[in-house]
Amino acid sequence: MDKTTLNAIRALRRKTERSEQKRFVVEGDKGVAELVASSIEVERMYYVSTMEHAVPDSHRFLAEQISVKEMGRISQMNTAPGLLALAKIPDLSADYVVRTVHESPMQYGLIGCRIQDPGNLGTLIRSADWFGFGGVLITEGTVDPWNAKTVQASMGSIFRIPIVEVSFDFLHGLSGHCHLEMHGTPHSEMSWESGWIWVGSESHGFEEVELPSSSIAVHIPRVGAAESLNAGVASAIVCSEIARVKTGK
């Protein structure tokens, strides 16, 4: 691997570089397998000798064997798994995400509002995928969905669920808003039809956020003594309730 290529891959640790190069990194055999099964374009693949068996046959022509030292330098994980793929960030429009939400089994989408933790955003994307939601929109101030930690936390769901960052003005033009709060209508008492679920960060919620005036505050009743639920868990609970109502199961 030449120095220019190595430095270009290492630079993808930064959001600015991911945006400029329009590509991201996927690591590990499971992550790469999910990637190649999706519609996302794979540009290149790198592996160490002990991971040659994990290179998908369909993409072997894109694969290059490198040394363990080189893999350690380009990997974004604490312990390099030995298989790394470079893929193009999907060029999707906000209107496309809205359309997939309307056409999805649940007819609901999630809005990640200033969620800072990549694990929480990854879980939110994974929940949308599991429960048949059509897409995810994120606001300014939300962690980049294409950073390695979010991609890993989504467990492949980010390759299937369309996700786009949009302005607050765009979000206010949508209909059917609900937002998760510590107080409001219990989630089990809502008549879920279609629309958008706003999920804020655990630390700041919707502080200094102008929510749509018609948005309904939805509450997950607390039984125990925990102070709060993180964004990933809260979104999963509400997604599950909507799926239960919609499917009758």
pLDDT digits (tens, 9 = 90+) for 150-193: 999 999 999 999 999 999 999 999 999 999 998 999 999 999 99
Residue at 117: amino acid letter: D
Is 137 in contact with 109 (CB distance < 8 Å)? Answer: yes
Ranges of CATH 3.30.1330.30 domains, the chain: 3-88
> Is residue 246 predicted with pLDDT exceeding 90?
yes
Residue position matching structure tokens 């059509």:
134
Ranges of CATH 3.40.1280.10 domains, the chain: 94-247
Count how many residues are written for the chain: 249
DSSP characters for the chain? --HHHHHHHHGGGSHHHHHHHTEEEEESHHHHHHHHTSSSPEEEEEE-GGGGGGS-GGGGGGEEE--HHHHHHH--SSS--SEEEEEEPP---HHHHHHHHHHSSS-EEEEEES---HHHHHHHHHHHHHTT---EEE-TTSPPTTSHHHHHHTTTGGGTS-EEE--HHHHHTS--EEEEESSSEEGGG----SEEEEEEBTTTBTTT----TTPEEEE----S--S---HHHHHHHHHHHHHHHHH--
Residue position matching structure tokens 């793929």:
85
d(CA 155, CA 150): 9
**pTM given for the model:** 0.93
Quick one: 245 exposed, middle or buried, by C-beta within 10 A (0-12, 13-18, 19+)?
middle
Is 72 in contact with 21 (CB distance < 8 Å)? Answer: no
Average per-residue pLDDT for the chain: 95
Check residue 172 and give its pLDDT. 95
What architecture is domain 3-88? 2-Layer Sandwich (3.30)
> Is residue 204 predicted with pLDDT exceeding 80?
no
How many other C-beta atoms lie within 10 A of the C-beta of residue 92? Answer: 13
Of the candidate CATH numbers 3.40.1280.10, 1.10.486.10, 3.10.28.10, 3.40.190.10, the domain formed by 94-247 belongs to 3.40.1280.10
d(CA 155, CA 34): 8
For residue 122, what pLDDT band results from cuts at 50, 70 and 90? very high
> Is residue 201 predicted with pLDDT exceeding 90?
no
pLDDT digits (tens, 9 = 90+) for 9-30: 999 999 999 999 999 999 999 9
Computed over its alpha carbons, how large is the radius of gyration of the chain?
Answer: 19
Sign of CA dihedral 13, 19, 23, 26: positive
